[in-house]
Structure 1
Amino acid sequence: MTIITLDGDLAIIKVTAARLDAAAGPAFKADIQAQLNGRAKRVLLDMGDVSFMDSTGLGVLVSLLKMLGKDGALAVAGAQPSVRRLFELTRLDTVFSLTDNVDSARAVLGD
């Protein structure tokens, strides 16, 4: 479901699942928590393959941001239009940096 690459304090997370919803969210959250375990302050979340996300998926992302702490940063790259609309409807596009691609997300995170 996820591929995590650590580069210093930057974690690049590629979400390989098509859905980030109530069925997949808890396992996704547990996987990220276990793999990161405080080792990253900046997270680049590549969501190009995710075609559907619900409130549980959003909750997982909010939890991930909280896990990073006050100095942490999270950028979402490549969100498909339906996923991007969910961020906008919930106004979470003001909390997360949404970018069109991984290179733009790296730039936003100062990498």
Structure 2
Amino acid sequence: MHMTLLPQQDGLTIRVDEKRLDAMVATAFKDRVRSMIGASGPPVTLDLGAVDFMDSSGLGAVIAIYKAMPPDRPLVLARLTPNVARVFRLTRMDTVLNIRQDPDNGIQMESPAP
């Protein structure tokens, strides 16, 4: 599981450097991200720009990470490829999770319903 931790001035970005987020890597992905973010700290951006394929196990891992985050510590998903964005749209998780087009300039692609 290849990921890069990128501390930012206003938070923490974790870039997932994998082509697939599926059943083969989902558990390792979830565990590694949890260990990288710790229990408290700044907002976390998960950069999924390199991920071309995500199955239900990958989606479940992202949701588990989201649920483990304290309510006052936001999780943002960034740079979703069209295939990955489709998974979030089809499951309607795009209405729950904060999804942004570009983690650097904050252009919002989709956001959770109020």
TM-score (norm 2): 0.83
The 5 A counterparts of 1:85-100 are 85-100=86-101
1:52: which partner in 2? 53
Q: Note if contact 1:11-1:42 (Cα within 8 Å) is conserved in structure 2.
A: yes
Amino acid at match of 2:30: K
Q: 1:100–1:25: structure 2 CA closer, same or farther, 3 Å change rule?
A: same
Cα distance, 1:41 vs structure 2 = 4.7
Residue equivalent to 1:101: 102
1:63/1:96 CA distance change after superposition, 3 Å:
same
Structure 1: stretches of 5+ with no match in the other structure: none
Higher RCO, Cα 8 Å, sep 6+: 1
3-state DSSP class of the match of 1:35? Answer: helix
Q: Which amino acid aligns with 2:64?
A: S
Post-superposition offset of 1:95: 1.1
Distance (whole Å) between structure 2 residues aligned to residue 40 and residue 78 of structure 1 = 22
Please name the residue that 1:23 is paired with: 24
Number of equivalences: 108
User: Counterpart of 1:11?
Assistant: 12
The structure carrying a bigger helix percent of its residues is: 1
Structure 2: tracts of 5 or more residues without a match: none
The answer to whether the 8 Å contact 2:75/2:98 transfers is yes
CA RMSD of aligned residues (A): 2.1
Give the share of equivalent positions with the same residue, in percent. 34
SS in 2 for 1:4: strand
| 1:103 alignment partner, SS class | coil
